Amino acid sequence: MFLVVFLASLSFFPQQPAVQDSRSLLDESIRALEAGDIAAAEKGFREVLKIDPHSAVAYCNLGVIDARSGRLDSAIDEFAKARDITPNDPGISLDLGLAYYTKEEFAAAIPYFVRTVELDPNHLQARYLLGLANFRLERYAATIQVLEPILDLEHKNLVFLYALAFSYGKLKRTDDSLRTFNLFRDAGGDTPLFHLFLGKLYLDLDENPDARTELEKAVAGDPKLEYSHLILGVAYQRLGLVDEAAAQYDREIALNPKEPLSYEDRGTLYLHQGHADRAIELYDKALAIDPRLTDSLAGLAKAYLAEDQPDHAVPYLVQALQLEPRSVKLHYLLGRTLQKQGKTQEAKNELAKATQLRRTEKSYDEKTDSGELPSLVVPNSNFPVDEKK
Locate the domains of the chain by residue range. Answer: 282-371
pLDDT the model gives residue 370: 63
How big is the chain, counted in residues?
389
Helix axes 174-188 and 158-170, enclosed angle (nearest 10): 160
pLDDT the model gives residue 185: 84
What letters, b where the CB count within 10 A reaches 16 and e where it falls short, cover 343-372? beebbeebbebbeebeeeeeebeeeebbbb
Ranges of the chain whose pLDDT falls below 70: 1-20, 361-370, 375-389
Which of 43, 22, 48 is CA-nearest to residue 32?
A: 43
Single-letter amino acid, residue 163: A
pLDDT the model gives residue 18: 47
pLDDT the model gives residue 150: 95
Which of 89, 138, 154, 148 is CA-nearest to residue 115?
A: 89
pLDDT the model gives residue 205: 78
Triad 67, 73, 77: Cα angle to 5°: 90
Triad 214, 371, 190: Cα angle to 5°: 15
The yes or no reply on domain 282-371 and CATH 3.40.50.300 is no
